């Protein structure tokens, strides 16, 4: 799997964790989540800020959860 495909899958999973997804049931009654398409150009400022904040929180909660406080503070400095 190429780097671009890996990043695309990562982005989709982070989007789902941030709460921006549609849910549906497959033909065999399996619950499924599909990441919403996020087009920041089509969002107003409030929507953009809410989405951006949710994505950062999802990353901090699910990806960097075992980081120490100093590392978390440094990461937050990038945002």
Residue stretches of the chain with pLDDT short of 70: 1, 79
Q: Residue ranges of the domains in the chain?
A: 3-77
pLDDT value, residue 1: 57
- What number of other Cβ atoms are within 10 A of residue 69's Cβ? 7
Which pLDDT does position 15 carry in this prediction? Answer: 93
∠ at Cα 47 (10, 16), nearest 5°? 25
Provide the Cα torsion 17, 58, 7, 32; round to 10°.
Answer: 0
The pTM (predicted TM-score) of the whole model is 0.74
Please give the biggest Cα pair distance in the chain.
Answer: 47
């Amino acid at each position: 799997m190429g780097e671009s495909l890996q990043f695309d899958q990562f982005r989709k999973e982070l989007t789902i964790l941030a709460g921006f997804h549609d849910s549906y049931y497959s033909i065999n009654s399996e619950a499924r989540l599909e990441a919403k398409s996020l087009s920041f150009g089509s969002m107003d400022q409030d929507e953009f800020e809410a989405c951006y904040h949710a994505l950062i929180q999802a990353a901090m909660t699910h990806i960097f959860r075992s980081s120490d406080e100093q590392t978390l503070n440094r990461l937050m400095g990038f945002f």
